[in-house]
């Protein structure tokens, strides 16, 4: 089954969350801290490419901008100056924090890259 595509990404700054809506009708809200902690870039995760680990941000964080990357991912510019993470759609669905997808998405755990 193909990975659903993202149809909307909406910042919810008052709540400190990002709401993602998918082509299969699924909607979930990701806390900014949660997404920043799961940043998949090599600077945050190293260069092994094997597993992605949750690294909590050092302080309060907000999403400054969100941009599409091709038809497969988004890039988020964070308030701490970091902007090199490319969040693939399949990865975002894997770490989805909603109850329908399994709750917390595994904060503190590892996921395969």
pTM over 0.85: yes
In tens, the pLDDT along 72-107 reads 999 999 999 999 999 999 999 999 998 888 755 445
* The architecture CATH gives domain 6-112: 2-Layer Sandwich (3.30)
Is a pLDDT exceeding 60 seen at residue 40?
yes
Residue appearing with tokens 């909406």: 10
Domain ranges of the chain: 6-112
CB proximity list for 14: less than 8 A, separation 6 or greater: none
Tell me: pLDDT of 111 over 80. no
| Start-to-end CA span in the chain (Å) | 19
pLDDT of 100: 85
pLDDT at res. 3: 78
8 A C-beta contact, residue 80 and residue 61: yes
């Amino acid at each position: 089954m193909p990975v659903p595509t993202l149809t909307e990404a909406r910042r919810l700054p008052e709540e400190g969350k990002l709401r993602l809506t998918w082509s299969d009708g699924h909607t979930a809200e990701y806390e900014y801290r949660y997404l920043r902690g799961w940043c998949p870039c090599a600077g945050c995760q190293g260069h092994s490419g094997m597993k992605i680990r949750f690294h909590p941000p050092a302080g309060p964080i907000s999403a400054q901008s969100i941009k599409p990357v091709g038809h497969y991912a988004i890039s988020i510019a964070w308030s701490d100056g970091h902007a090199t993470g490319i969040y693939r759609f399949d990865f975002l669905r894997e770490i989805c924090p909603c109850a329908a997808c399994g709750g917390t998405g595994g904060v503190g755990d590892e996921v395969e890259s």
